[in-house]
Amino acid sequence: MDSTREAADLLTALAAAASSFRQAGYAIYLSHQTEVRWRQFSHYGGEEGAPCASLGFTIALQDGRELCVSATVAVNGQGFSVAADATIDDASSEPQGEQRFLIDLPDAAVATVPECVTVLRDYVEQLTLAAPGLVREALLGPKPDADAAPV
């Protein structure tokens, strides 16, 4: 496969990921309009010779916490790395502002654009399918500790 075609395939996959995240975030917003706000994001940057792209969406809850769903593709010396996760502000952490992972997919190191595209599609699908349930859980609040003694 020539490099122009591979570049086009990677850009197409990133655009598709952004579209999937936009659809998922907006659907969650429509389901919980009075309880959440949402925004989509995409950041491009990195260091010279090691560009990266991060995309996803955040759901802002009324209690001030944010749930973030994101995927990152980065160029490394051997090809690409793909990372994806869902995090939420941890209200119990000191200092405030720390994140708790709800989903932390394994960082994937791949050598080729087709492999990168395949992993990115898989990770975005996993996150967008799980996101509505994660938001529902966050809105319901923490589950009581099953091992805790009744009060």
Split the chain (151 residues) into runs of 10 and give each run's mean pLDDT: 89 97 98 95 88 96 94 94 95 71 97 97 98 95 53 39
In this prediction, residue 149 carries a pLDDT of 46
d(CA 96, CA 9): 40
pLDDT value at residue 77 = 84
Cβ neighbours for 42, distance < 8 A, ≥ 6 positions apart = 18, 53, 54, 55
115: how many CB neighbours lie within 10 A of its CB?
Answer: 15
- Here the tokens at position 130 are 């799980």
Q: 82: which strand partners?
A: 73, 108
Residue identified by tokens 């091992």 is 147
Q: Supply 16's token pair.
A: 């598709």
Please give the pLDDT value at position 119. 98
**Contact by Cβ (8 Å): 85, 55:** no
Q: What is the pLDDT of residue 141?
A: 75
What strands, in cross-sheet order, belong to the sheet with 99-110? 36-47, 50-61, 66-76, 79-89, 99-110
Cβ-based neighbour number of residue 95 at 10 Å = 5
Q: 57 vs 3, 40, 46, CA distance in Å?
A: 30, 4, 20
